[in-house]
Amino acid sequence: MADRSLNRDSAALDPSLWGHRWGFQDTKLFLHPDGSVEMTGERYNLCGYRMPYLVPFINRELGVEIDFASARPLTGAPRVTPAARNEDFLATLANAVRPDQFTADDPERLLHSHGQTTTEEVSRVLYEDLDRCVDLVVWPESEADCRAVVAAADTHDVCLIPFGGGTNVSSALLVPASEARMVISVDTRRMDRILQIDRANLTATVQAGITGGRLEHLLAKEGLTCGHEPDSSELSTLGGWIATNASGMKKNRYGNIEDLVENVTLVTPTGVVEQQYSSPRQSPGIQLQKALFGSEGNLGLVTKAVIHVHPLPEVKKYGSVIFADWPTGVSFMEALNRTGARPASIRLVDNLQFRLGQSLKAAPSGRAKVLKSRAEEILVTKIKKFDTHTMVAATIVYEGAAAEVAMQEKAVASTARRFGGLQGGSGNGERGYMLTYAIAYLRDFLADYYVIGETYETTVPWDRIHDVCAAVDRTAKSEHARLGFPGRPFTSPRLTQMYHSGVCLYFTHGLYHRGVEDGDAKFAEMERNIRTAIMDAGGSISHHHGVGKLRKHVVGRVASDESVAAVTALKQAVDPHNVFGIANNIFGA
């Protein structure tokens, strides 16, 4: 049976995308007349049943009564800025690729002019207008196509913006306001093939435009997996993972993107950057390859990579453990990390996010289910004496050989007992991971009713976790009041990755803004202040989303002037005419 909750085998489903919104057209949330919510389609285990608890939970936690009878008006026909034309470039392009590999069609231009940042991109394109759109979209199908497009752009002075899955949440795809040249979006998703599988050494050479969903589907046919599963894995691409220095939820088993890639090929205006051969590890001196991770489209086009692959795991199962409160859960996570027996993925969700997951349940039906639900409630609240408004949960994915998984389960159970943990079962664990895939659809559903939401991720030392959580909560509340938003903010952390010296914290933040003048702009201001507060409290600029244009205001706190000068010199060496004028991170205004 396919694992729908993680969308491991969706090849038979309709791949059509919403476009400006997140995800697939067969999947959306809608409201029934009785106030229950349902997710359409059959892509996830959340689909096809009514959720009667979701709307009451949202109203209660936001401290408002959302008016679901009156939706936020959409832009009737989103404005697409007039296309600039560089006739010399267009003539050269027409001789280099087929006519069906490029278009100046307005809907395609608009689709390729933004990512998924809530206020700066999605809200703008749905409810207002973007300031500037790309002028042309090109779909290369090979590395030779990429070289031809880059050479033509360099010769004729046009700007290229690499485009993968369009899933970034850092405003990385916005056209720089100061860019006067013709701007081309280079969509790599037709470069979606596995070029070679080396079974002896368990590597694969893969074109960089392949999405995570397609990559896993093709590898599964060969009895293999890559194992890199960021939350966006259905839609994001291998090249995008490299460009943003991405992290996957099963990092404990398969590594982050920099761990599982052995070689990257980058096409630049001055030539091709790559290692002459792949190897597990080298010591050849300074390695330019490492600078490509997190390059965010500033240096060139990633065209292919050599990645690690693994036999499909013998066992895959879910688990969960419930703890009395967030500090206890954090202590459990740190203790488990010190044992070295980490499951493929283990995440700690706070009480708000735990209850959000519970609100996605169907109402129990039938005597047996009602009795089971009541028995679970008695065990948690009466026998264990957990407070339903402080308890938290660790949700777990076990993956590997049977003996390995058994060892990890034993380590989790014994460590959990030290901290008073209660085994929550596989169902709650699976539901926790389902929420990962539902949250973006939930964002888009609520956006139509004036609920705006965003996520913030950061790396934090173990001893600063509570400082950062407190700073986010405190800043969100004070800014909410200062800016005049109704109700109260929803701020919820989860601990998603563990390292030797720290963790990744991932915050979900939402609020209701109906009746607030310039609500999107005020939310964006609040967001900037929260990101600053995160860094003031000991968090990093980003764990895996990158900088893009969204975090430019704090990038100076990360890199020294000398570091900036060195990276600028690298840019000058590979792209002296700034063909890749995407202006992310330290580049541009």
Residues classed as catalytic: 506
Sheet of 50-51, strand order:
29-31, 37-39, 50-51
Residue recorded with tokens 């080396």: 198
Largest CA distance in the chain: 76
Residue recorded with tokens 């003031």: 536
412, 336 contact by CB (below 8 A): yes
Other beta carbons within 10 angstroms of residue 157's beta carbon come to 15
227, 260 contact by CB (below 8 A): yes
How does 508-535 read in b/e, with b if 16+ C-beta sit within 10 Å? bbbbbbbebeebbebbbebbebbbbbbb
Amino acid at the residue 261? V
H/E stretch holding 199 reads: none
Q: Find the Cα–Cα–Cα–Cα dihedral 550, 554, 559, 562, rounded to 10°.
A: 100
What DSSP string runs through 5-60? GGT---TTS---B-SSSSSBTT--EEE-TTS-EEE-SSSSTTBTSEETTHHHHHHH
How many whole angstroms separate alpha carbon 562 and alpha carbon 427?
A: 51
* DSSP class of 237: B
Other beta carbons within 10 angstroms of residue 77's beta carbon come to 7
